Amino acid sequence: MKKCILAMLGAGAVITSPAKASDARIVTGSEEAASAEVDQAFALIGQKQPAQALDLLAPLIDRFNQQIAEAEKTRMVFCGPTLMEASVYAVLPAIEKKDGLVMGRDVCDAFFAKAYALVELDRKPEALATLQRLTSLAPMHSRYLVELGYAYRINGQNGKAEDAYRMALEHADLGEDDKTKSTNHASALRGIGYMLVEKRDLAAAENAYKKSLKYDPDSAIAKGELEFIAQQRKRAK
């Protein structure tokens, strides 16, 4: 029987039969030190000190990368930013008839913080590579996919950017609550709208931005883009 080992939300766990949730056995633990380091890194980024955040994260991410590389020799590896997603990822290896490892939220957060810091430092290719790695570990997390779309866009890869935004929309309802789901939908739709404007598909872009306002009625970004689209149409007449 294939096993999926879970370390979710700062906890270690073993699921003996991921294909049958009723057979699951979970044993929890904690990684408070990792959580504290990630929180401190986000605080440094908020204080406009992204380089210091990267220095702080480097040993932690090196450790995570070593763990991931070792695990990938024998199993599928994910990280679970939420309990719901961790549970979904726990089932995926069984579908492929493989063993699996779902690492904890701290792993996701560490890679996300690194990507954020790299964007702040304008190290665009490195930020993209980090987000590619993160979304390979959490392939259904809408916010990470939105950020991946942005990273592709600033690296001049518009086709991949639109694909990432559409994937973010596809997984928007995996958010842990209604507010998060709405944010996911709105962010993904705004990203899609932006890429459609770049393609000069103003009708489809307008539709995407209007849909985004259903989830975030007060979005100044969406309203501004709709005004821009209206101006472009007037100029074209």
Delimit the domains of the chain by residue range. 141-237
Q: Examine the pLDDT at 8 and tell me if it is beyond 50.
A: no
Q: Examine the pLDDT at 1 and tell me if it is beyond 70.
A: no
Name which residue leads in pLDDT, 3 or 36: 36
Calculate the alpha carbon distances from 217 to 34, 146, 165, 189, 222 in Å.
37, 19, 20, 13, 9
Instruction: Specify the pTM.
Output: 0.88
CATH 1.25.40.10 fits 141-237, yes or no: yes
Give the phi and the psi of residue 26 in degrees, each rounded to 5.
-120, 130
Q: Examine the pLDDT at 237 and tell me if it is beyond 80.
A: no
Per-residue pLDDT, 4: 52
Q: Of the candidates 107, 110, 113, 109, which has an alpha carbon nearest to the alpha carbon of residue 45?
A: 113
Q: Examine the pLDDT at 231 and tell me if it is beyond 80.
A: yes
Confidence of residue 44 (pLDDT cuts 50, 70, 90): very high
Confidence of residue 10 (pLDDT cuts 50, 70, 90): very low
Confidence of residue 30 (pLDDT cuts 50, 70, 90): very low
Per-residue pLDDT, 24: 30
Per-residue pLDDT, 32: 77
**pLDDT tens-digit series, residues 146-194:** 999 999 999 999 999 999 999 999 999 999 999 999 999 999 999 999 9
Confidence of residue 15 (pLDDT cuts 50, 70, 90): very low
Q: Examine the pLDDT at 96 and tell me if it is beyond 90.
A: no
Per-residue pLDDT, 3: 53
Residue 234: partners with Cβ closer than 8 Å, 6 or more residues away? none
